[in-house]
Amino acid sequence: MCKRSLFILLLLIGAVGISQNKPILFGYEDIPQSLMVNPAADMPQGMHIGIPFASHLYVHGGSSGASVYDIFKDEAGINQRVTQAIFDLKPSDFFAANQQLEFINFGWKQKQSGIYFSGGIYQELDVMVYFPKDLAILAWEGNRNYIGKAFDLGELSVTGEALTVFHFGASKKVSKNLRLGARAKIYSSIAHFSSTGNKGTFTTVIGDGTVNIYEHLISNADIEVRTSGIQALSDAESGSATVNQFVKRGMLGGNLGLGVDLGMSYDFDKHWTLDASILDLGAVFHTGDVERYESKGDFVLNGVEFVFPALSDGQETVDYYTGLTDQFNMEVPRDTITTGYVQFRPTKLNGSLTYGFGEFGEGEDCNCLNKEDARWREGVGAHFYSIMRPKRPQFAFSVFYYRKLTSFLSAKVAYTWDEYSATNLGMGINADLGWVNFYLMTDNILRYGNLAKAKNVSLQLGLNLKINKQ
């Protein structure tokens, strides 16, 4: 049975080998939102206004390891498949979800200077969870068959944030071949949590000369969970109060941050163009409603030692259990602190090299790859993407082909390799119907026959008004 659950699946498992990679949107200058991935993008129109709350919706999430089908295939033996997945996945595998919704987006070209100004507000949700393999094995199978194995507590690595971004930028051609762009951003954090850079091991060793059968060892534990805004949201006493708090924090009422996007576009010659950008070079400064939980230390558990004290009638026995928990709390103290912290945003790098070709025929109205001297109908090239993540940067590489199909319709396909998938074919279309601009992009169309088998699915779409096309 075929279920129409595209959106549900996108929300639940979505895309990403590499989240927020937008190889189709990057350099797709028919779409005003291409300014959001390269502030130096060359806008063909004189002005654009995004339809509020509909100019850009982006959902993206997924798993670098197992697909939904790998677990939930319609066959018996789901527990064996979960076991298989736990052992197949690596600690570097991850689950990620990213969502963006533009509230407003606008831009205009100032005729005297030729600068294209743009600005807007969008909301973003980003969650990244690395697979804590050792902890999963411990929870799934226990320690019985793993005596002597050091379970790595450092594999616990998660981040998540919800924020609103206020931005304003400019794109200007500064020489015959070079266009530069920049975008300033104010981050308004709604909520943030992270637990990264953890250390420590848990080991059960069989005793040889030890006081009991085993020794349960916590060694060099150093675990921290940082949260901001969570308490304010959870303290809200009703659904509407939660929404109010959410909106307040998103509209500059919470912790703030600053960032910048930088971009460039350089024409080597009539055909070849290099585009590059660095996005979200900035940080959020969490100073209010902060709660950080820290736990560090070493501990050895051997069970409870009976000392058989000589007690008189009515005398209390020794409270070994409380003594043990007190000793644990002393040797592995858990502190809650409210000191602020700085959270660096996941910075992204984009770069592409494009070869434009194929002029439009006489009388055809086309902006195409509008490089002043060359109005190319088609473009082919390669795109590189990287995003900073807690454990290490992630990379993706795409090749793409762009074509203006008619005076109002264009399309772009991209084939992406990343660390976990080599079969990601994505495609986008853009239509300009009068002033109305509509675009739709999606990844992994080879898996559309059964999205459950996809580890990567993303969708972005939007509506704008493009006015006074040039």
Partner 1 sequence: MLLRSLLVCVIVATAYACVKDTDFDQASDIEATPEIELDLVYFTLTPPQFTLDTDSGRPISVRDTTDIRFLDDSFVQDALKRVEYYFRFSNSIPSEFNANVRFLNGDNDVRYQFDIDVAQGALDTPVITEHIEILATRAQIRRITESSKVVVRVTIPEAPQTVEGFLNLQSKGTYFLEY
Q: How many binding residues for partner 1 (CB under 8 A)? A: 62
Instruction: Report the first-to-last Cα separation within the chain, whole angstroms.
Output: 49
Q: Is 89 in the site for partner 1 (CB under 8 A)?
A: no
In the bound complex, what is the minimum distance in angstroms from residue 303's beta carbon to partner 1? 3
| Nearer to partner 1 among residue 212 and residue 244 (C-beta) | 212
Q: Is 142 in the site for partner 1 (CB under 8 A)?
A: yes
Strands of 244-289, DSSP E: 255-267, 272-286
CA distance 38 to 20: 13
Q: Residue length, the chain?
A: 470
CA distance 23 to 414: 7
**Packing angle, helices 78-88 and 133-141, rounded to 10:** 150
Among 442, 456, 460, 464, binds partner 1 (CB under 8 A): 442
Per-position DSSP letters for 165-187, written without gaps between them? EEEEEEEEE-SSSEEEEEEEEEE
Cα dihedral 70, 76, 78, 79 sign: negative
| Nearer to partner 1 among residue 258 and residue 425 (C-beta) | 425
Token pair in block for residue 153: 């507590």
Site string for partner 1, 152-171 (x = CB under 8 A): --------------------
Among 51, 52, 54, 69, binds partner 1 (CB under 8 A): 69
3-state secondary structure of 321: helix
**For residue 111, which of 166, 45, 169 has the smallest C-alpha distance?**
45
Among 111, 144, 176, 392, binds partner 1 (CB under 8 A): 144
Among 117, 168, 214, 360, binds partner 1 (CB under 8 A): 214
CA distance 141 to 137: 6
**For residue 444, which of 421, 467, 411, 468 has the smallest C-alpha distance?**
421
Q: Which stretch binds partner 1 (CB under 8 A): 22-30, 102-110, 341-349, 447-455?
A: 447-455
CA distance 34 to 59: 16
Q: Is 401 in the site for partner 1 (CB under 8 A)?
A: yes
Among 88, 270, 298, 303, binds partner 1 (CB under 8 A): 303
| Nearer to partner 1 among residue 284 and residue 368 (C-beta) | 368
Q: Is 73 in the site for partner 1 (CB under 8 A)?
A: yes
Place of tokens 């079969």: 423
* Run of H or E residues at 210: none
| Nearer to partner 1 among residue 133 and residue 226 (C-beta) | 133
Specify whether the CB–CB gap between 284 and 189 falls below 8 A: yes
In the bound complex, what is the minimum distance in angstroms from residue 326's beta carbon to partner 1? 13
Q: Is 68 in the site for partner 1 (CB under 8 A)?
A: yes
Q: Is 140 in the site for partner 1 (CB under 8 A)?
A: yes
Q: Which stretch binds partner 1 (CB under 8 A): 181-189, 260-268, 304-312, 356-364?
A: 304-312
Q: Is 301 in the site for partner 1 (CB under 8 A)?
A: yes
Question: Which residues in the 340-399 window bind partner 1 by CB under 8 A?
Answer: none
Q: Give me the residues that bind partner 1 (CB under 8 A), please.
A: 1-6, 9, 68-69, 72-74, 78-79, 82, 138-145, 147, 204, 207, 211-216, 301-309, 317-322, 401, 403, 405, 411, 413, 427, 429, 440, 442, 445, 448-452
